[in-house]
Structure 1
Amino acid sequence: MLETAVARPLSRSLPELVAGFALLTCLTALSLDAILPGLPAIEAEFGVSTTDTQLVVSMLVLGMVFGELAFGPLADAYGRKPAIMMGLGIFMVGTLMAILATSLPMLLVGRMIQGIGVAGPKIGTRALIRDQFSGDAMARIFSFVVMLIILVPMVAPAFGQLVLVIGHWRGIFISYAVLALIGATWLVLRQPETLPQDRRIPLVFGKLATNTALIVGHPKVMAYTAVAGLVFGCQVTYLSTAQAIFSDLYNAGTRFALYFAILASGIGLASFTNGRLVMRFGMQRQIITALVGMIVCSAVLLLLSWLGSGHPSLLTFLVLGYGLFFCVGLVFGNINALAMEWLGRVAGLGASVIASVSSLISVGVALLVGQFYNQTLYSLSLGYLGCAVLALVLVLLARSVSAEAV
């Protein structure tokens, strides 16, 4: 029997719990990655450029900036289920707008609304798990859910490609709606509320503003948050341009999903190995080593791109890209925990602020770097190199700053 933190007896099986939690949490990764094979069709239908369709990815992340900031306090004030259901409802509105879009601007508004909404299940589901389980039981649930979260980005483009084979790019958004409805139905019928009334924290906007100011004003927290944003920004840039890169440079066609999965598995491998490595070397050393690795890989990729007139061989891109993604996975596995170390009594709000600010930075990076895409790897390799150098400087500066925990 799994250890539970609520008095109500657990009547659901472990596979059901993992599947339900993973479905709600993985909507974010699916929303980001499954649409990638459809970007050329969107470009053709609306008569826009590759640079314009990059916004289909960026606007989702921009919406998450606002959603991540709001749903943490909402889940604490009104309960986990209402927050998740509110998020799913907003997500459905954005999805419907995208399905009915008659222009790229209308589609982008829908994507931004989707981003606001998808933050609800992303944040609320983690709170559900934390409320119901503790100790080894919580670690067990999280490990299964994280395993599925790692696998979803690897297979999401293949899922999107399959939808395109049998239908239209709008069918990808219809599949989002179906999955959201399945998740909402499971939540209503099978998952009880886990936050009792006496544990809820009322929304007091003055106190929220004061605590937010403490978090934003903490030099170490903001330095590590900026690092997270810079590295995530590299990934958003890659997601925005991946379809175009593999099509323009390597004529990948239907092999795009395979190449995408190969690179994504680098992050997966890093996630699986990080636990053992961090216990041996520590978070800071792990992050510094990973950032140095990013600098080396991106510098070599830039050099070989220059020698190849912007078109290094596919094998070169996959090998160096895999190294880059492995290093990115190591940073992701540690940087949020390092930032959260300095947030004691405001950890819940702090997690929302960190996620929101890092998402905002990542959108800025993606918009800046993505506009320079010119059917070469120059902009992508330069983006990774510049962000990794800046992130390393921030980590080293944060180590030298003295600060008290909030």
Structure 2
Amino acid sequence: MKTQSEVAAVQQGPALNGKVVALLAGLSAISVLSTNIILPAFAQIGQELGVTARELGLTLSSFFITFALAQLLVGPLADRFGRRPLVLGGLALFVVGTLVAGLAGSFDVLIAGRVIQALGACAAAVLARAIARDLFEGETLARALSLTMIATATAPGFSPLLGSLLSNTLGWRTIFIMVGIAALIIALSYARGLGETLPVQRRVALPAAQVLGAYGGLLGNPAFILPAAAMSLLMSGLFASFGASPAILMDGMGLSSLQTGLYFAATVFVVFAAGLAAPRLAGRFGSRTVTASGLATALLAGCLLWLGPRDPGLGWYSLSMVIFLWGMGLANPLGTALTLSPFGKQAGLASALLGFLTMTAAAFTTWLGSVLEFAPVVTLGAIQATACLIALLLFGLNRRCVEP
């Protein structure tokens, strides 16, 4: 429970409006933007740098692994020094990594740039959730995360289309220029429009041993680890679909890079609709019930892909993706709010650990999708179905732990 002074601090903060949502979405989306926007340019990058499509998968897994590990440092640093220096410093480092990747003359330098990008982007993404937790609580927090997710969905939805247009007209290096400009705009907007959300009196300075102990306490707390693991597994299924999409849509179904970009753009509207529906459904049926139904829906989508035709057409694949995105759009914002709400005094640590779990799971599923020798559609369906089944079981255990 928050003290009266903490509640007053929240009440004096900005209201949940479009400006706040846009800032939170920008901070949260920059990492996904920098990943998805390069997918249509894989063929062009591989040809220029002399690497195969499988090797280019390292641009995803290296980003995810670095992102996951760096978050464990960002959380306690933000709880000690505040959100503002970490956000602005992280975005500055992200721009440096973007320049390194955009000017890369070899595959090793490109990977180095992606690692630097991940180090910077993780601060923005982790602290977007922590900032939301600083400002809001309860149903307002769930609504803030839902609206943020709706806006953030624009990044994975429209960025491949933008990446395709840029790479086909100006070359793949201009993609990194565009991403760097986006990061600068977000940094400027944050500095002017929101700034510090963690008052000095609420900051916590923990020695390294206590930080490790705090992380251990969260990992051992069923109220955190069960919903956190469930949401991480759910999101790993989404990232697995990002990694598999070039092989499925371009190699398997013959879509051009532009058509692939348009396909991703069309899926945005599913996430929009689910994000709008989630808080309304939660108000009527309860957040836990809606989250569980979203996980079950995403599980159904994975089963359709896994157990369906071995050589599905675009229609069958799209049906599965629509169902998965709907389930994910319902479950993720509500489940994230349920995960973070009990830990207001550890918002940075809890958000960082949640991000670590999510990106670790994403790194594993994208790697798994690239090494398994089965058809890409079958592999993706099996990954999504397995991840969502385990997520649903874990979330069910959490529900029994918190209910009398």
Residues 1:127 and 1:62: Cα distance change in structure 2 (over 3 Å):
same
**Match of residue 323 from structure 1:** 323
**Match of residue 358 from structure 2:** 358
TM-score (ref. length: structure 2): 0.85
Identity of aligned residues (%): 28
CA-CA distance at 1:128 after TM superposition: 5.1
CA-CA distance at 1:241 after TM superposition: 1.8
For 1:280, the aligned partner's letter is R
Size of the aligned set, in residue pairs, is 396
For 2:230, the aligned partner's letter is V
For 2:292, the aligned partner's letter is I
Residues 1:143 and 1:322: Cα distance change in structure 2 (over 3 Å):
closer
1:316-350, Cα deviation, whole Å (9 max, x unpaired): 11112211221122221232233335546434322
Please, which runs of 5 or more residues in structure 2 have no aligned partner?
A: 1-7
Map of 1:365-404 to 2, 5 A cutoff? 365-372=365-372, 376-401=376-401
For 1:249, the aligned partner's letter is G
Distance 1:17 1:343 in 2: 22
* Higher deviation after alignment, 332-341 or 141-150: 141-150
**Match of residue 36 from structure 2:** 33
Residues 1:179 and 1:354: Cα distance change in structure 2 (over 3 Å):
same
* Higher deviation after alignment, 197-206 or 69-78: 197-206
**Match of residue 293 from structure 1:** 297
1:196-246, Cα deviation, whole Å (9 max, x unpaired): 544432243233222211111123422222222222111111111212211
**Match of residue 286 from structure 2:** 282
CA-CA distance at 1:5 after TM superposition: 5.2
1:44-77, Cα deviation, whole Å (9 max, x unpaired): 2233332222232232222221232222222232
Map of 1:201-240 to 2, 5 A cutoff? 201-240=204-243
**RMSD across aligned positions (CA):** 3.4
For 1:168, the aligned partner's letter is G
**Match of residue 74 from structure 1:** 77
1:149-178, Cα deviation, whole Å (9 max, x unpaired): 233322111111221132121211111112
Q: Is the 8 A contact 1:63 1:111 kept in 2?
A: no
Q: Is the 8 A contact 2:158 2:268 kept in 1?
A: no
Q: Is the 8 A contact 2:138 2:341 kept in 1?
A: no
Distance 1:327 1:128 in 2: 25
For 2:289, the aligned partner's letter is R
Q: Of Structure 1 and Structure 2, which has the larger fraction of its residues in helix?
A: 2
Q: What secondary structure does 1:258 align onto?
A: helix
Q: Is the 8 A contact 1:220 1:403 kept in 2?
A: no
**Match of residue 100 from structure 2:** 97
- Answering whether residue 307 of structure 2 is matched by residue 303 of structure 1, we say yes
Q: Is the 8 A contact 1:58 1:240 kept in 2?
A: no
TM-score (ref. length: structure 1): 0.85
Distance 1:184 1:31 in 2: 15
Please, which runs of 5 or more residues in structure 1 have no aligned partner?
A: none
1:334-376, Cα deviation, whole Å (9 max, x unpaired): 3223333554643432222122122212211221233226654
